[in-house]
């Protein structure tokens, strides 16, 4: 089994919310889409690369509070550059269809802190924010979950898909994690004057590593075995 592929959970885990890590606790359309939010293939990407689309199309009159639909969740361990570990729950997009939908139209992450885009093999596909209403931060990881790069992505709602900006780490990766941008809470609400949310709160910074935990795929965020 590929180290990034996950086994369905046994269903015996108790259902609970996994909180983000914090400093206080010391942890804290083109080809097949392969980027966060409807992504399109960058001109520098070969035709064998995929582009991720992580959003489900939303309309102007769509109510707030839209959570990812049709996805499972997975737990992940984040290790920051100082060696501090943090375990979080993420929505899981590990098929072409799921990566193509991603966080499109999503305004509420529910109990998860973000979404993990998992690839069967390294890729250099680009992401974009077509029909993605909530500002997102993305971090890419490569071999052994090692940090590759990060970017801040802005919504691209009223622009044709082929004119939306592309976000690419400039190197191969096989895992990408999207979270609501700093200053945006889990329900997609702007929190003026704060740094709540974002990659840093989770320890997803340069020098960090991420491991998706085998056997933790489930319908909802769950606690680890006691």
pLDDT for residue 223: 62
Mean pLDDT, to the nearest integer, of 63-82? 91
> What does DSSP say about strands 136-141 and 173-180: parallel, antiparallel, or unpaired?
antiparallel
Higher-confidence residue of 46 and 107: namely 107
pLDDT for residue 71: 98
Place 191 in a pLDDT band, splitting at 50, 70 and 90: confident
Tokens of 26: 């010391």
Mean pLDDT, to the nearest integer, of 179-205? 86
Q: Where do the H-state alpha helices sit in 89-147?
A: 96-101
Hey, what CATH topology would domain 23-212 get? Answer: Jelly Rolls (2.60.120)
Mean pLDDT, to the nearest integer, of 38-51? 35
CA distance 200 to 182: 8
CA distance 20 to 196: 11
The pLDDT tens digits of the residues spanning 61-70 come to 443 589 999 9
């Amino acid at each position: 089994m590929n180290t990034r592929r996950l086994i369905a959970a046994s269903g015996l885990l108790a259902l609970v919310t996994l909180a983000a890590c914090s400093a206080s606790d010391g942890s804290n359309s083109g080809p097949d889409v392969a980027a966060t939010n409807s992504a399109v293939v960058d001109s520098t990407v070969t035709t064998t690369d995929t582009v991720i689309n992580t959003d489900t199309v939303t309309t102007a009159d769509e109510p707030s509070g839209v959570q990812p639909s049709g996805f499972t969740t997975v737990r992940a361990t984040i290790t920051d550059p100082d060696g501090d570990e943090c375990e979080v729950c993420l929505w899981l997009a590990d098929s072409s269809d799921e990566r193509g939908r991603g966080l499109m139209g999503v305004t509420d992450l529910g109990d998860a802190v973000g979404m993990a885009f998992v690839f069967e093999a390294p890729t250099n596909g680009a992401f974009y924010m077509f029909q993605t209403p909530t500002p997102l931060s993305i971090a890419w990881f490569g071999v052994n979950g090692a940090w590759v790069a990060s970017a801040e992505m802005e919504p691209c709602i009223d622009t044709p898909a082929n004119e939306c900006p592309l976000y690419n780490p400039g190197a191969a990766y096989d895992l990408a994690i999207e979270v609501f941008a700093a200053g945006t809470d889990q329900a997609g609400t702007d929190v003026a004057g704060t740094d709540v949310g974002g990659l840093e709160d989770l320890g997803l910074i340069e020098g960090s590593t991420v491991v998706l935990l085998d056997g933790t795929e489930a319908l909802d965020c769950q606690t680890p075995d006691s």
